[in-house]
Structure formats: C-alpha cells, structure tokens
Amino acid sequence: MENPRANVAVQRRRRKGRGVVLFPLPLQGHINPMLQLANLLYSKGFSITILHTHFNSPISSNHSNFTFHSIPDGLSESEASTDDILAFLTLLNVNCVSPFRDCLAKLLSDSPQEDQPIACIITDAVWHFTQAVADTFNLPRIVLRTSNVSSFLVFAGLSLLREQGYLPIQESRLEEAVPNLPPLKVKDIAVIDTRNPEDFYGLISSMVKEIKGSSGLIWNSVEELEQSEMIKLGQDFPIPLFTIGPFHSYFPASSSSLLTQDQSCLSWLNTRAPKSVLYVSFGSLAKFNETEFKEIAWGLANSNQHFLWVIRPGLARGSEWLETLPDGFLEMVGERGHIVKWAPQQEVLAHPATGGFWTHNGWNSTLESICEGVPMICSPCFGDQKVNARYVSHVWKIGVHLENRMERVEIDKGIKKLFVETEGEEMRQRIMHLKEKVDLSLRQGGSSHQALESLINYISSF
Ligand code: UDP
C-alpha cells in the first residue's frame, strides 16, 4: 500500500526539479545496478541525467524518463576490445577526466544559479577521478559500489596484505587463512591479472582513497547478508553508508542489457520438470581457454542433467561461438541441453524449472540467485568473484565450490551434489531461508527499505 505522505514528497521533489547525475562504469555488471538505482531515484521524484562513455553506451530509448549525455572516452578499437580489464579501467580513468569535467561544467552552467537543480553526482566506485572533479564544482559525490561489502574489505586491506607479504600470491600459500578476514584463504584474495600489476594496486588504492573522501557510499547488498562486514566497514569508512539492495527487485536488468536476451530459452524451460535444469552462465567478461571450455562441456554432457548454457561469443577465448565445443557434443546432449548467446537471466532464475545455477559469482548473478532461492555451483574467475564464491560456499553455505581447475569429473560430482545428494537439498533450504530474509529487508521497516528512505532524505538535504 502506497503511503500518501511519501507520494506528496515525491511530487514535491519532482516539482522542484531536483536532479541527480549518474555516471556508470561501461561494463554490463556495473551498468545494470547503476540504471536500476537511477530508476529507483526517479520513482522517488528526482530527475535523472546519465553521463556515459561512447564505449558500451546504454540504450537510451529504453529509458525515456532520463536525459543521456555521451562523453568521448578516447579508446582505440584495440584498447576497447582488450582482455586486460585492469589496463582498460586505468586508461578510462585518465581519458575521461576532461570530457567528464567539461560535460558537468556545461550541465551546471545550463542550469539557473539561484535554483541549483543538481543535488549531487553518483558515480561508480571505480571512477575514482570523479571525486576531484566533484570537489572543484563543490558538488557532493556519492559512490555506488556495485559489488558487496565482503569483497570490498579485501580491496580496502590490500596494501596491508601486500606489506605482510601475501601479495603477489604464492602457490605455496594458497590454502593459508587471510588474517582478520575469515573464512577467506589466500587464493580468494580479490586480485585481477594485468600486464602491469602496479596498475592493479594503483587503481584499487585510488578507489579506496576517493571513497573515503566522498559524501556517502551506496551498496547493492542487504545488511542481513553481511552484518559483521558492515560493522567493520563502518569503523574504517566513517561516511554515510546506504545498504539498499537488491536493486533488481525493484527494476529488472533487461532494459540495460547490452546484448539481446534470447527469450527462446523460456519456452524451452517451460517443457522441463520443476527444479530439473542447471542454468550455466559466467557473466559478461569471463573467458576460458580451449581446454577449460571443453572440460565444462564434458562435465555437462557426463552429468546427465538438463542444462541451459549461456555461451557468449568469445566465452571460449578466440572463438566466434560454438566451434570449440567437443566434436559430437550437440548430438550427444540433444534435447537435454539448450544453448543461447545471452539469456534473460532474472527470468531464467525465477523459472520453476531452474534448480541450480553454475556461475562465476559476479555479484549481480550471486544476488539474483539468492533472490530466487536457486543454489549455486561456484567457478569464480577473478577479482571479487573469488570472495563471493567463498561466502556462498562457506558462510551462507548455499553452493558447491569447484575449487580446483576446470575438470570434467569434478564438475560432474558438483552437479550431482547439488541435484541428487542431501547436501544439495540442505543448500536449497538454506538459500530459501536467506531469500526470505532479503524479501523482508525490502518491506516497510526492513533494513534496505529504511536505508533507501535515509538515502532519499540525505540527497534531498543537499
Ligand atoms: N546477464 C544477463 N544474461 C546472461 C548473463 C548475465 O542478463 O545471459 C546479466 C545478469 O543478470 C547480471 C549481469 O548480466 O545482472 C552480470 O553481472 P555480474 O555481476 O553477475 O557479472 P559480470 O558480467 O560483471 O562478470
């Protein structure tokens, strides 16, 4: 039931034309939550301007209520298609400084002085340079961190871990516990491979430092999932914190999808028995070499489980699409398997036929799975995914962790554990319990609901 007083507040904000400028990082897992947040703020009466790079620009026609401004990112074709995400993000943080500042200056000068309609900017945490720009204009900057608190604590502690000799990670120490961050092991430390490791440390330390100087930090997470981590965070980051997730519960990610979601898989799922299908997707960035990709295929073939597999073009490194599959794979699995280039993931996870999710544990995927009560098989690839996978398997105990290299026998065992064994059933019960907690957090008086109210009041106070 809508609260009439809240409605009046929304109308008042809309009349006053209070605006928020948002600047998403141009990667699918970052664009989705930023645009969901934009929708959320719009529904609360704020006018929305989205600044975005030319690269991976959002589809503006899907968001007719927002104003879009594109800024040049200076990326060459090879820079835009590199596999070195870290080098790419480092370069963007340099290339975008002037265009971002110029665009913001224009937006501010176009608006009447006496009635400043831009309340604040909200930028992705990785856009660390935006804090200095915001400061020059005396504009508050609120940060959106699109992953969770647990993995951020690892980033925040990275320089200490480096000083203590844990980084670069040594093979002989992989199974050691990370001090002060239970239950993480050294192999879970959220590193990202790049040709110049100093870029990685530089980017993370700038991100952390500029968050500390910001006006607040928004999380697409839920307090009940990360209570002790939130307390730790609050001690080190004495800025306003708003844990208001899961965003996709308010607005689905379909409208911000950069690839076309193949709806055919939903009719295929309609023909399957309840909880019988393993959904397999490794997100928008992960890539596997030929050996790993073939092991994934053999694991699926040998498991005898029904599966829906998202094979993005290039998922097998260097391939166009399916040519790296083992010979005879498609004939062997027949109707038991369905392959698409990109799926309507939230609808797939919500479908009654879906019984498990084999995932890379990107935070959006992990949260979407929790919200639909679908237990996971975890194959993290890099960065925060490793932390998320450890939390899924060892803290929340809602998934099977494939800890070692991709290997068909291990994969088959993992699938059986999830679908056939008692352990899998227990995970299913635990994730349903967690889903209920998340649902409650969104209701009136729930933690995310309250935090959203505080965020709205906070932005309105600028
Ligand atoms: N996604 C999708 N279709 C797919 C695979 C993924 O719409 O076939 C969406 C998914 O719902 C999620 C996002 O893409 O919102 C992926 O974000 P995540 O953080 O899980 O991983 P990333 O792509 O950043 O590695």
Within a domain: 78: yes
Task: List Cβ neighbours of 243 (8 Å cut-off, separation of 6 or more).
Answer: 149, 219, 221, 222, 223, 226, 230, 447, 448, 451
Within a domain: 118: yes
Assess contact for 241 and 216: CB atoms under 8 A: yes
Predicted TM-score (pTM) of the model is 0.96
228 and 281, same domain (yes or no): no
pLDDT at res. 7: 78
User: How far is residue 317's CA from residue 371's CA, in Å, rounded to a whole number?
Assistant: 31
User: How far is residue 9's CA from residue 218's CA, in Å, rounded to a whole number?
Assistant: 22
358 and 281, same domain (yes or no): yes
Ligand 1 neighbourhood includes 120 CB (under 6 angstroms): no
Chain Cα centroid distance, residue 299:
26
User: How far is residue 245's CA from residue 248's CA, in Å, rounded to a whole number?
Assistant: 8
Residue bearing the CA closest to ligand 1, atom 24: 29
288 and 321, same domain (yes or no): yes
Assess contact for 7 and 17: CB atoms under 8 A: no
State in Å: Cα 184 to ligand 1 middle.
24
Of ligand 1's listed atoms, the one at least distance from the Cα of 366 is: 20
Assess contact for 250 and 36: CB atoms under 8 A: yes
Within a domain: 212: yes
What range does the domain containing 431 cover?
264-438
User: How far is residue 414's CA from residue 110's CA, in Å, rounded to a whole number?
Assistant: 58
HEC profile of the chain: CCCHHHHHHHHHHHHHCCEEEEECCCCHHHHHHHHHHHHHHHHCCCEEEEEEECCCCCCHHHCCCCEEEEECCCCCHHHHCCCCHHHHHHHHHHHCHHHHHHHHHHHHHHCCHHHCCEEEEEEECCCCCHHHHHHHCCCCEEEEECCCHHHHHHHHCHHHHHHCCCCCCCHHHCCCECCCCCCCEHHHCCCCCCCCHHHHHHHHHHHHHHHHCCCEEEECCCHHHCHHHHHHHHHHCCCCEEECCCHHHCCCCHHHCCCCCCCHHHHHHHCCCCCCEEEEECCCCCCECHHHHHHHHHHHHHHCCEEEEECCCCCECCCCCCCCCCCCHHHHHHHHEEEECCCCHHHHHHCCCEEEEEECCCHHHHHHHHHHCCCEEECCCCCHHHHHHHHHHHHCCCEEECCCCCCHHHHHHHHHHHHCCHHHHHHHHHHHHHHHHHHHHHCCCCHHHHHHHHHHHHHHCC
Ligand 1 neighbourhood includes 31 CB (under 6 angstroms): no
Q: Would you mind telling me the total number of residues written for the chain in this entry?
A: 462
102 and 234, same domain (yes or no): yes
pLDDT at res. 2: 53
Within a domain: 427: yes
pLDDT at res. 56: 97
Ligand 1 neighbourhood includes 385 CB (under 6 angstroms): no
State in Å: Cα 199 to ligand 1 middle.
25
CATH number of the structural domain spanning residue 397: 3.40.50.2000
35 and 53, same domain (yes or no): yes
Quick one: 331 exposed, middle or buried, by C-beta within 10 A (0-12, 13-18, 19+)? exposed
289 and 159, same domain (yes or no): no
Q: And the tokens for 64?
A: 């007719």
246 and 342, same domain (yes or no): no
321 and 221, same domain (yes or no): no
Within a domain: 5: no
269 and 212, same domain (yes or no): no
State in Å: Cα 367 to ligand 1 middle.
11
Mutate to test the pocket of ligand 1, among 364, 371, 379 (most ligand atoms within 8 A of CB): 364
How many CA within 13 A on the CB side of residue 226?
A: 28
Mutate to test the pocket of ligand 1, among 311, 349, 365, 392 (most ligand atoms within 8 A of CB): 365
Within a domain: 6: no
Mutate to test the pocket of ligand 1, among 25, 27, 28 (most ligand atoms within 8 A of CB): 28
Ligand 1 neighbourhood includes 346 CB (under 6 angstroms): yes
Within a domain: 4: no
Within a domain: 2: no
* Region for 283 from its dihedrals, namely left if φ exceeds 0, alpha if ψ lies in -120 to 50, beta otherwise: left
Residue bearing the CA closest to ligand 1, atom 2: 345
Assess contact for 156 and 208: CB atoms under 8 A: yes
State in Å: Cα 380 to ligand 1 middle.
13
179 and 122, same domain (yes or no): yes
Ligand 1 neighbourhood includes 139 CB (under 6 angstroms): no
Mutate to test the pocket of ligand 1, among 257, 284, 387 (most ligand atoms within 8 A of CB): 284
Of ligand 1's listed atoms, the one at least distance from the Cα of 342 is: 8
Query: In the chain, how many domains are there?
Result: 2
pLDDT at res. 1: 46
Of ligand 1's listed atoms, the one at least distance from the Cα of 381 is: 25
The answer, yes or no, to whether the previous bond of 183 is cis (omega within 30 of 0) is yes
Of ligand 1's listed atoms, the one at least distance from the Cα of 359 is: 20
Could you list the pLDDT tens digit for every one of the 462 residues in the chain?
456 666 777 777 666 668 999 999 999 999 999 999 999 999 999 999 999 999 999 999 999 999 999 999 999 999 999 999 999 999 999 999 999 999 999 999 987 655 558 999 999 999 999 999 999 999 999 999 999 999 999 999 999 999 999 999 999 999 999 999 999 999 999 999 999 999 999 999 999 999 999 999 999 999 999 999 999 999 999 999 999 999 999 988 888 999 999 999 999 999 999 999 999 999 999 999 999 999 999 999 999 999 999 999 999 999 999 999 999 999 999 999 999 999 999 999 999 999 999 999 999 999 999 999 999 999 999 999 999 999 999 999 999 999 989 999 999 999 999 999 999 999 999 999 999 999 999 999 999 999 999 999 999 999
165 and 42, same domain (yes or no): yes
Residue bearing the CA closest to ligand 1, atom 5: 283
Ligand 1 neighbourhood includes 285 CB (under 6 angstroms): yes
434 and 449, same domain (yes or no): no
